[in-house]
Amino acid sequence: MSVGIDEISFYTSNYYLDLRTLAQQQQTDPEKYYTGIGQEKMGMPAPDEDIVTMAANAALPIIERIGSDTISTLLFATETGIDQSKSAGVYVHRLLGLHSNCRVVELKQACYSATAALQMACALVERQPERKVLVIASDIARYELGTPGEATQGCGAVAMLISAAPRLLEIYPEVGNFTDDVMDFWRPNYRATALVDGKYSTKIYLKALKKAWEHFVQATSASFTDFGRFCYHLPFSRMAQKAHQHLAKLNHTELTPVEIEQQIEDTLRYNQIIGNSYTASMYIGLCSLLEHCQENLSEQKIGFFSYGSGCVAEFFSGRVMPGYQQALHRQRHAQLLEARQAVSYDEYLQLWHHPDPQQGESLMIPHTTPGRFRLAAISHHKREYVIC
């Protein structure tokens, strides 16, 4: 019995900052961003957008197709948690009208947790093949102004329906894992922005890739040439390019540099104009691949490298299903991205500094997002979400 991703949909903010605008403000060459890190734009959430609203909007097309009573479990992956106790997924459960018998839980391990959720979902479906599990990854990447990480901000959510006999991608059970206690990126409870050692994090990312791949090969006897395409965690697009070149070198591939780039280039397109979305980034990359690749990917094997700082990493693989094109939301995603609005640098600062009550203050939030769901207010330590 095959188990995997039956449907996938993503959502991102209505606003974005073009990195040319940031470069102009910083009086630097925009190619530092466009070429240096491979990024063009970064999504900026509106005041009434957060991980819950983006998650619900990402999942909406799936629920509209299959109905709200078919989901047995909702697994919500994020590192931008809004509560130390209550799962963000419980808010989504209400907004989507899911059945009261649907279990909900939130998972956290930096950018890796969506992959943990995917594997758990596959296991649940293996146990009860008639069940369907909804996996949602939603995050807002936010760094201090003027820091090296500022240009790698972004936001987005991805929703995946996990089922038996999937229409998009069969997920194979064999994996390669690597865990190490390192401090390359972290965010203490008392901080709204992350701390990161950029050069060290890049080094650990590449080390984790090597170790996870070696473990994967031991578990599967697979080889680099078994895969036509690869998807990587995408803190910024250049990181995936560097990682894939590293993996190709480790495997002594005879592919040319152009052929190596072709194995990942279609996975980068959405990330380049959305920015980092942490747990969602690799799976938005999968959307990008399936929706942009001109080649028919049916029956091709795809290799996935999921990395979460701190760190946990996993290499796994899947097979693209015949007829996958019919299960995509290509037009909906294109319309979403086309409708976004560019912001000036001053507008970007206003969004970045938007009030975030920490002591129970009341805050009424203006209706800005065009999405179906929005954060309307924060009052008495409670977040109030509405359906538009």
Once rounded to an integer, what is the mean pLDDT over residues 362-377? 96
First to last CA, the chain: 40
Q: Which residues contact 267 (CB under 8 A, 6 or more apart)?
A: 229, 230, 231, 232, 234, 240, 285, 286, 288, 289
Look over the chain and give the mean of its residue pLDDT values, rounded to a whole number: 97
**Is residue 271 exposed (0-12), middle (13-18) or buried (19+ Cβ within 10 Å)?**
buried
- Per-residue confidence at 11, pLDDT binned at 50, 70, 90? very high
Res 358: pLDDT: 83
Which pLDDT score is estimated for 1?
87
Contact 303, 282 (CB under 8 A): no
Cα 364 vs. chain centroid, distance in angstroms? Answer: 29
Kindly state the DSSP code that residue 241 receives in the 8-state scheme.
H
Burial 72-81 (b: 16+ CB within 10 A, else e): bbbbbbbbbb
| pLDDT for 69 | 96
What residues are labeled active site? 79, 111, 233
What average pLDDT does the segment 4-17 reach? 98
What DSSP letter does each residue of 58-77 carry, written as one string?
Answer: HHHHHHHHH-TTSEEEEEEE
At 268-292, the pLDDT tens digits run 999 999 999 999 999 999 999 999 9
Q: Annotated binding residue at 356?
A: no
349 near 341, Cβ under 8 Å? no
105: tokens are 């839980």
Fold adopted by 3-387: Peroxisomal Thiolase; Chain A, domain 1 (3.40.47)
Q: Residue 314, exposed/middle/buried by CB under 10 A (0-12, 13-18, 19+)?
A: buried
The reported pLDDT for the residue numbered 360 is 83
**pLDDT tens readout for residues 160-196:** 999 999 999 999 999 999 999 999 999 999 998 999 9
Annotated ligand binding at 177? The verdict is no
Q: Are 205 and 315 in contact (CB under 8 A)?
A: no
* Position 304 confidence tier, pLDDT thresholds 50, 70, 90: very high
Q: What is the DSSP string of 209-221?
A: HHHHHHHHHHHH-
**242 annotated as a binding-site residue:** yes
pTM score, whole prediction: 0.97
Residue 143 is labelled as binding a ligand: yes
